Amino acid sequence: MLAMGAPVACLLILAALCDQVLQNVVVWQWNDVRLARSVALWYGYGLYPGRAGNVPIIGTMHGPVPHLLYACLAFLKNPTWLLVAGCTLSCVLYFGAVLWVHIRNGAKVAGAYGFFACAALLLASSGGRYSGLTVHVDALAMCLAVLAAGILVWDEALGPRALVASAVLAMLSVASKQTMVPVAIALPCFVLMADGKRAFAHYVAVQVAASVAIFAAMLALFRPPRALLFNTFTLAIKQPRTGSIASRIMLGLFDLRSELAAAAAPLVLLIAVCALAPGTIREKIAKHRWLVFLWMAALQLPIELRAWSTYGGQVNHLSVVTLFVALATTLGLVGLWKPDTTGLAARALLIGMLLAHVPLAYGIRRDLQRVGANPTQVAFNYERRHPGRAYFPFNPLAALLADGKLTHFDRALFNREVAGFLISPEQFAAGFPSGCALVAYPPGQQPRAAPIRALIEDQPIADEPGLKGWNVYRVKPAFTQSTSGSRP
């Protein structure tokens, strides 16, 4: 009976994933700059502009590994196709890792329903949709973390190859996003508890070697080293905290509770089964290896709450915890999928999780119709018709694809401002297109960076054909005459 329902659940999940990818291409405007950072590598630009460098500033504040991966899509020259490919790649990484870890840990039907339940919960999570279905470093960072932990879950007799693979993947996750550092701590600690001191020492040794190799490669490829460290470390820690940290943290915890409500009863069952099982604590951990994800979630929570309470913190920070708790729950239930009383309860809870968040792709037809009208495509079309007439501070990918020039990203300039690193007029000129008469923001966006606001100060909004609904401002004559275009 359950096997017959699996194809239906699979189609519902696939349809929801496709719908969400298309929707994010249309409405999630940050995809533009995140792809621009990667595509710009093919045009001779660097990922990490120095503190005083006269180059376009686009706000790369994470490790280079995800940007190098997204750069493989640079052969696509149509903005819409590029955005769809970028979001699809994120989907494959994020949900592919979730699928792999379930299939490896359960029989065909049990693993399939574990994946369906986990995917449905993540699709219902705003943070899960953000991290896994938009262009974001989270997709690769979480993929690598899940694979690293997944190896420890299914390989009970942990061999040398499994240890090496898990340790390397864990360090690549940290190299993709700095806030994944707790993963590199949680996994060796789990190995120590479940597999003993010898396996722990081997694991840590591989981690150290992998860290040295990865960091050396980063310093060699992205020079000068001080520019890399300035963007990924100094700028990141200098971002200010929100006004009310305590209320922000409480809001984050409330959101987590809401997103994981469907996993509460299954977790109670799993913890009870684990606690009542015979044996020592180490024997229980070794038998219930899905606990690694719960352990990862516990260590990840403080750093994610800290990031969540920082200026610019988004729901994707807390989605890491949501992902790990969801995986712990569904993998634990998959492990109990047996023809006994506990197994029947596990099946019922797993199906209940799926039904509680069953995704329905109501808007897929509408999203297909409007995907070609995404802001990047609109800006690209305008730039092709009117080369150099407008500057798009929120859509650097459009100008890059249209004429090969990279320009400043508004929020990257603003991030430097709030961190206390103001840019000079020469730095601003390096990423401002020469001779442009207009500054255009997509619907819902407004200028934030001081240098850009100075350009359009006291200027009326222009009614510009081809940019319907956009916020279009005229540039002061002094700037149109004095600036020069950006070239790598």
Same domain, 98 and 34: yes
Same domain, 155 and 271: yes
232's CB contacts (< 8 A; 6+ apart) are 48, 60, 61, 62, 63, 178
- Cα 202 vs. chain centroid, distance in angstroms? 30
Closest-CA residue to 182 (of 315, 313, 61, 294): 294
The string of pLDDT tens digits covering residues 337-349 is 877 777 788 888 8
- Give the per-residue pLDDT at 373: 93
Pairing of strands 471-474, 390-391: unpaired
Q: How confident is the prediction for the chain on average, in pLDDT? A: 89
- Give the per-residue pLDDT at 480: 52
Same domain, 420 and 449: yes
Same domain, 91 and 45: yes
Whether the per-residue pLDDT at 65 is higher than 80: the answer is yes
Backbone angles phi, psi at 311, to 5 degrees: -55, 130
End residue of a domain, out of 326, 356, 386: 356
Read off the pLDDT of each residue in 306-319 and give the average, rounded to a whole number: 77
Whether the per-residue pLDDT at 313 is higher than 70: the answer is no
In a domain, 210, yes or no: yes
In a domain, 471, yes or no: yes
11's CB contacts (< 8 A; 6+ apart) are none
Put simply, whether the predicted model's pTM sits higher than 0.75 gets the answer: yes
* Helix, coil or strand: residue 54: coil
Same domain, 116 and 219: yes
Same domain, 122 and 20: yes
CA distances from 214 to 64, 160, 250 (A): 10, 20, 36
Closest-CA residue to 383 (of 394, 399, 397): 399
The string of pLDDT tens digits covering residues 135-171 is 999 999 999 999 999 999 975 667 889 999 999 999 9
In a domain, 54, yes or no: yes
Weakest-pLDDT range from 213-222, 361-370, 381-390:
361-370
End residue of a domain, out of 356, 384, 418: 356
In a domain, 362, yes or no: no
- Give the per-residue pLDDT at 483: 46
- CA-to-CA distance for 313 and 97, rounded, in angstroms? 25
In a domain, 207, yes or no: yes
- CA-to-CA distance for 252 and 248, rounded, in angstroms? 6
Q: What is the CA radius of gyration of the chain?
A: 24
Same domain, 198 and 110: yes
Same domain, 140 and 166: yes
The count of C-alpha atoms lying within 13 angstroms of the C-alpha of 377, restricted to the half-sphere facing its C-beta, is 15
Read off the pLDDT of each residue in 293-303 and give the average, rounded to a whole number: 94
In a domain, 447, yes or no: yes
- CA-to-CA distance for 167 and 408, rounded, in angstroms? 37
Supply 449's token pair.
């960076």
Same domain, 347 and 421: no
In a domain, 365, yes or no: no
In a domain, 411, yes or no: yes
Same domain, 218 and 315: yes
Domain count for the chain, please give it: 2
Same domain, 51 and 168: yes
Whether the per-residue pLDDT at 442 is higher than 80: the answer is yes
Same domain, 204 and 68: yes
Cis before residue 224, ω within 30 degrees of 0?
Answer: yes
Domain residues for the domain of 404 are 374-482
- CA-to-CA distance for 173 and 247, rounded, in angstroms? 30
DSSP state of 472: E
- CA-to-CA distance for 139 and 121, rounded, in angstroms? 17
Angle between helices 108-124 and 2-27 (to 10 degrees): 30
